[in-house]
Amino acid sequence: MDTSLTEAPSIPTAAVAGHQSVPGVTNVILDHKKAARLALGHLKELGHERIAFLKGQPFSSDSATRWAAICEAAQEFGIQVRPELTVQIEGTDSTPNLGYPWAGSAGEKAAFYSAFCI
DSSP 83: G
- pLDDT tens for each residue of 59-111: 887 888 999 999 999 999 999 999 988 888 887 777 777 777 776 655 555 56
- pLDDT tens for each residue of 22-64: 888 888 888 999 999 999 999 999 998 888 888 888 888 788 8
Q: How far apart are CA 91 and CA 57, in angstroms?
A: 7
User: Taking the model in full, what pTM does it have?
Assistant: 0.76
Q: How far apart are CA 3 and CA 25, in angstroms?
A: 12
Backbone dihedral angles phi then psi of residue 7, each to the nearest 5 degrees: -130, 150
